[in-house]
């Protein structure tokens, strides 16, 4: 770690980020979907820490108990655009019997913090709090205004979280043109000694679909050429087997260009077949871009019937669809064709795809912050296969990046820890994150 930057946060910040991560994990904010979650205890905890840094946090709810926190830090340059720094407080469910430790224990063992939310994303929430509090102790102010937001409901529809904030409290984000949040600037080990730090500059759109097949109800013992279950099954099989064509967005093209250069490969990114060949040559690093060179649609749920000898008149299925920036029209027309004339489909949940410039000053400063503390690393842009609260904040004209820095040792599969069993984060990774986040936010 560069000695020149060590003094910008104090030892207390390094202790606090570990404690905050553990404390937040112990506050069970499991989001079961359908409104079944209570983020308020975690929101009150975050607000208390912000108030301790001299800020004036606002707690906001659309639904009782589904609490969001927003605060603003004034920068030294009033003419500069503001930056949104946001993290969500809810987590996905965890079954304790599957874990090595209780998922809501926040246990710190052998230099590792364990529990649901350790990487998604109470670690980043803790980093934000630790940096802000260190600045208050050391008298540091950022160049531009920072709006700090901790949100509810990211792990479901975001209707009680970032969607509610963007739609009902846009004034709190006045002046914000860019934002940072989860899923970027983590160590990706490629298995051959290289350490890659992908920073997210885009997200595929979310297209969760409900498929409804209609047919003729009847007795299960009789021939039925209008069987709704059969019609749904055929449509689902077509969707599952469909080979989506390669479509390179500017972000993914930039990612492939930089990765190819890193591996000494001359890429031909205008030939779809050559793109698949290139992915094969990148080895493990292909995982950073492979999910985002195409649209995708994966059947996930089926519902039909009520008795084995009764053919139902309707059958329903659900599909997790994701489309690239600029790819929604192709996604729609393809689904029209694959579902056929006997199956209707509609969006069960839809959110936009995002694309952020990789040639921006902000991206360059994120790159520089990582490289200062990980000079052996190789920073590359990438597009997320899924989505974040940046989708909702984009309604306010805020360009989003994924930047929650962690320096992970080899053997930590960052992607597998998201929503996985034994989610955990090393203490040293949190310390790295505090240093890098502090460096970036002061210079952004």
Residues 291 and 204: their CA atoms lie apart, in Å, by 10
Is residue 6 over pLDDT 60? no
Q: Which domain holds residue 215?
A: 205-351
Whether residues 321 and 399 share a domain: the answer is: no
Same domain, 110 and 247: no
**pLDDT (average), residues 160-177:** 98
Here the CATH number for the domain that contains residue 278 is 3.30.70.360
Q: Is the pLDDT of residue 427 over 60?
A: yes
Pairwise CA distance, residues 296 & 334, whole Å: 11
- Let me know if residue 367 belongs to a domain: no
Give the number of other Cβ atoms within 10 Å of residue 248's Cβ: 19
Q: What pLDDT is recorded for position 72?
A: 98
Looking at the structure, tell me whether residues 162 and 210 fall in a common domain: no
Q: Are 293 and 277 in contact (CB under 8 A)?
A: no
In a domain, 365, yes or no: no
Strand partners, 149: 70, 86
Distance CA(23)–CA(416), nearest Å, equals: 23
- Whether the Cβ atoms of residue 220 and residue 310 lie closer than 8 Å to each other: yes
Inter-axis angle of helices 11-26 and 40-52, nearest 10: 160
Report the Cα–Cα distance between both ends of the chain, in Å, rounded: 20
With residue 49 as reference, give the H or E element that holds it: helix 40-52
Residue 371 lies in a domain: no
Residues 41 and 125 in one domain: yes
Q: Is residue 315 part of a domain?
A: yes
Is the same domain home to 34 and 150? yes
Q: Residue 107 catalytic?
A: no
Domain with residue 81: its CATH number is 3.40.630.10
163 and 77 inside one domain: yes
Instruction: With cut-offs at 50, 70 and 90, classify the pLDDT of residue 8.
Output: confident
Q: What is the pLDDT of residues 210-253, one digit of tens each?
A: 999 999 999 999 999 999 999 999 999 999 999 999 999 999 99
pLDDT average, residue stretch 42-64:
98
Assess whether 128 and 250 both reside in one domain. no
Q: Which of 39, 90, 155, 438 is catalytic?
A: 90
pLDDT digits (tens, 9 = 90+) for 16-32: 999 999 999 999 999 99
84-107 pLDDT tens trace: 999 999 999 999 999 999 999 999
Give a yes or no: residue 357 inside a domain: no
- Do 179 and 213 lie in one domain? The reply is no
Q: Over the chain, what is the mean pLDDT?
A: 96
Tens digits of residue pLDDT in 300-341: 999 999 999 999 999 999 999 999 999 999 999 999 999 999
To the query of whether residue 190 is one of the catalytic residues in this protein, the response is no
> Which of the listed residues 351, 376, 410 is the one where a domain comes to its end?
351
Asked whether the predicted pLDDT for residue 150 surpasses 60, the reply is yes
| pLDDT average, residue stretch 147-155 | 98
Does the residue 250 lie in any domain? yes
Asked if residue 369 is part of any domain, the answer here is: no
Whether 314 maps to a domain, the answer reads yes
If asked whether residues 169 and 44 sit together in one domain, one would say: yes
Question: pLDDT: is 185 or 386 the higher one?
Answer: 185
Residue 232's φ and ψ, nearest 5 degrees, are -65, -45
User: Same structural domain for residues 15 and 68?
Assistant: yes
Q: Are residues 416 and 338 in the same domain?
A: no
pLDDT of residue 31: 98
Domain count, the chain: 2
| 284, 395: one domain | no
Question: What stretch of H or E contains 189?
Answer: strand 188-189
Q: Which uninterrupted H or E stretch holds 162?
A: helix 162-168
Q: Which of 125, 153, 154, 203 is catalytic?
A: 154
Distance between CA 251 and CA 6 in Å, rounded? Answer: 32
**Largest alpha-carbon pair distance within the chain?**
80
Instruction: Scan for tokens 């009520």, then name that residue.
Output: 306
Is the model's pLDDT at 1 over the cut of 80? no
Return d(Cα 190, Cα 383) in angstroms, integer.
Answer: 18
Ranges 373-382, 391-400, 411-420: which has the least confidence: 411-420
Q: Is the pLDDT of residue 128 over 80?
A: yes
């Amino acid at each position: 770690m560069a000695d020149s930057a060590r003094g910008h946060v104090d030892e207390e910040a390094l202790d606090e980020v570990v404690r905050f991560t553990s404390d937040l994990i112990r506050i069970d904010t499991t989001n079961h979907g359908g409104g079944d979650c209570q983020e308020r205890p975690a929101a009150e905890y975050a607000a208390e820490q912000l108030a301790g840094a001299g800020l004036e946090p606002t707690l906001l709810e659309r639904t009782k108990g589904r609490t969001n926190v927003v605060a603003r830090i004034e920068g030294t340059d009033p003419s500069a655009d503001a930056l949104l720094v946001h993290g969500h407080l809810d987590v996905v469910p965890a079954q304790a019997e599957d874990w090595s430790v209780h998922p809501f224990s926040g246990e710190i063992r052998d230099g590792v913090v364990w529990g649901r939310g350790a990487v998604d994303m109470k670690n980043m929430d803790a980093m934000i709090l630790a940096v802000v509090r260190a600045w208050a102790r050391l008298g540091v102010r950022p160049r531009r205004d920072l709006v700090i937001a901790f949100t509810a409901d990211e792990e479901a529809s975001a209707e009680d979280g970032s969607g509610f904030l963007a739609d009902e409290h846009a004034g709190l984000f006045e002046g914000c043109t860019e934002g940072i949040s989860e899923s970027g600037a983590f160590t990706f080990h490629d298995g051959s000694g290289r350490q890659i730090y992908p920073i997210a500059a885009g997200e595929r759109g979310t297209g969760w679909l409900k498929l409804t097949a209609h047919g003729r109800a009847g007795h299960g013992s009789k021939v039925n050429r209008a069987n709704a279950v059969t019609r749904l099954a055929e449509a689902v099989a077509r969707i599952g087997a469909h080979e989506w064509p390669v479509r390179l967005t500017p972000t993914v093209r930039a990612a492939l260009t930089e990765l190819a250069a890193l591996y000494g490969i001359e890429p031909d990114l205008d030939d779809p077949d050559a793109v698949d060949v290139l992915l094969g040559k990148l080895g493990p690093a292909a995982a950073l871009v492979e999910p985002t060179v195409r649209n995708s649609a994966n059947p996930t749920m089926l519902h039909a019937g009520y008795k084995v000898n009764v053919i139902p008149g309707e059958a329903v299925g659900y599909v997790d669809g994701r489309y690239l920036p600029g790819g929604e029209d192709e996604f729609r027309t393809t689904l029209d064709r694959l579902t056929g004339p006997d199956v209707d489909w509609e969006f069960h949940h839809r959110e936009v795809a995002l694309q952020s410039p990789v040639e921006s000053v902000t991206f360059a400063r994120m790159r520089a912050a990582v490289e200062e503390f990980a000079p052996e690393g190789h920073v590359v842009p990438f597009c997320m296969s899924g989505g974040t609260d940046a989708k909702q904040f984009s309604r306010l004209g805020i360009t989003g990046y994924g930047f929650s820095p962690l320096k992970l040792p080899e053997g930590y599969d960052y992607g597998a820890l998201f929503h996985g069993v034994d989610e955990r984060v090393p203490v040293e990774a949190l310390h790295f994150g505090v240093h890098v986040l502090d460096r970036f936010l002061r210079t952004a």
